[in-house]
């Protein structure tokens, strides 16, 4: 396992980040404990969760696991705030001071820790001035409850605006951004990655396997496996089915065929090629893996042994064009984002 600086902080994090979204939900508590221990044994020291994952269930399981193995101080623990935590409470969402401070305290209790290493805004909130949000986050840092702050799915201009406001007001600045990034959506290469490289922002990509499409489980013209991500979504609404159909196109399957062909040549899995590709791109700090089972975790960890050559990049670029999106995950600005809907998680 290699380690990279979390932006300009100097805090060294593993080249893969363990995403804990499934813990406390599809993945049982016992299996979650085992997977966390396995990731630690492999050298992963960067864990990412969020308060909305299973409405606190993920944070609770992660907290129990770290109390159980006594290794809290060995990891960089990240969580997120923004989404709705109570359907009956109009105040229980957003990037306002009240919600941020309240939810930070709740996350600390669930995680059974005195501090959060990286506290991130899960989505932008255009209705709330960024200085309101930054002041609340700065207060949490000064209180010792948070070490660093970051964003998720922010457009590059909003991140840059936040840096300017932080400088003007003498506040702690964001050190990281967590955007979607994979072979089906390379939009962040246009502005986000160059901006991040210029200003020392860590890039922590989510969904590097495109909701599991790039794992190789799906085949053109064949039924969707019932236990797969898209299989479990089969009973969803029109938005869920539209997302599936956006992936299951001729171009999508042509790209998947190429990823599988490269995997066969290297003697590895398609998911390892897709992960290694993200990990090899300029400006990337630590792709977030989101395993549901131990087998998924072991496979994902194997990606660090896979080398993506210049020839591999050229072949993939021919189908997955740089700076373009075959399936749009990254909605620049997300102006109409509804905090009740996390459609792309």
The Cα–Cα gap between 344 and 297 comes to: 21
- Determine the 3-state secondary structure of 115 from DSSP: coil
Quote the CA–CA distance of 19 and 345 in Å, as a whole number: 11
Alpha-carbon torsion (140, 18, 279, 158), positive or negative: negative
E strand or H helix at 98, and its extent?
helix 97-111
Q: Which of 3, 53, 181, 218 does the annotation list as catalytic?
A: 53
Answer yes or no: 119 catalytic: no
The span from the CA of 91 to the CA of 101, in Å, is 12
Q: Which residue has the tokens 């899995």?
A: 269
Contact 194, 184 (CB under 8 A): no
Structural contact between residues 183 and 274, judged by C-beta atoms closer than 8 angstroms: yes
Residue spans of alpha helices (H) in 184-304:
192-199, 229-232, 238-247, 250-266, 270-280, 294-301
Distance (Å, rounded) from C-alpha 174 to C-alpha 141?
Answer: 12
121 DSSP β-pair partners: 81, 151
The phi, psi pair for 322, rounded to 5°, reads -55, 140
- Sequence-distant (≥ 6) Cβ neighbours of residue 89 within 8 angstroms: none
Residue 226's Cβ-side half-sphere holds a number of Cα atoms within 13 Å equal to: 0
List active site positions: 53
């Amino acid at each position: 396992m290699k380690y990279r600086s979390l932006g300009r902080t100097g805090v060294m994090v593993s080249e893969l980040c363990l995403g804990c979204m499934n813990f406390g939900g599809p993945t049982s508590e016992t299996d979650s404990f085992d997977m966390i221990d396995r990731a630690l044994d492999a050298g992963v020291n960067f864990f990412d969760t969020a308060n909305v994952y299973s409405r606190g269930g993920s944070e609770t399981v992660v907290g129990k696991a770290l109390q159980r193995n006594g290794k809290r101080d060995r990891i960089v623990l990240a969580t997120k705030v923004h989404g709705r935590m109570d359907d009956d409470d109009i105040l229980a969402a957003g990037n306002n001071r009240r919600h941020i401070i309240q939810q930070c305290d709740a996350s600390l209790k669930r995680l059974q820790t005195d501090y959060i290493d990286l506290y991130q805004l899960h989505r932008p909130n255009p209705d709330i001035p960024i200085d309101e949000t930054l002041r609340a986050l700065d207060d949490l840092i000064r209180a010792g409850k948070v070490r660093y702050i970051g964003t998720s799915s922010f457009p590059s201009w909003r991140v840059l605006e936040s840096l300017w406001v932080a400088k003007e007001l003498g506040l702690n600045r964001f050190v990281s951004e967590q955007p979607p990034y994979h072979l089906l959506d390379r939009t962040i290469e246009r502005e986000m990655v160059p901006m991040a490289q210029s200003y020392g922002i860590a890039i922590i990509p989510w969904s590097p396997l495109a909701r599991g499409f790039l794992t190789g489980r799906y085949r053109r013209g064949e039924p969707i496996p019932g236990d797969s991500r898209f299989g479990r979504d089969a009973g969803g609404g029109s938005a869920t089915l539209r997302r599936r159909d956006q992936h299951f196109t001729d171009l999508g399957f042509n790209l998947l065929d190429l990823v599988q062909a490269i995997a066969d040549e290297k003697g590895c899995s398609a998911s390892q090629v897709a992960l290694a590709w993200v990990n090899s791109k300029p400006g990337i700090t630590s792709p977030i893996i989101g395993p549901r089972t131990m087998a998924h975790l072991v496979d994902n960890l194997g990606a660090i042994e896979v080398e993506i050559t210049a020839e591999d990049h050229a072949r993939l670029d021919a189908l997955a064009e740089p700076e373009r999106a075959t399936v749009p995950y990254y909605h620049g600005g997300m102006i109409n984002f509804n905090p009740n809907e996390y459609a792309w998680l």
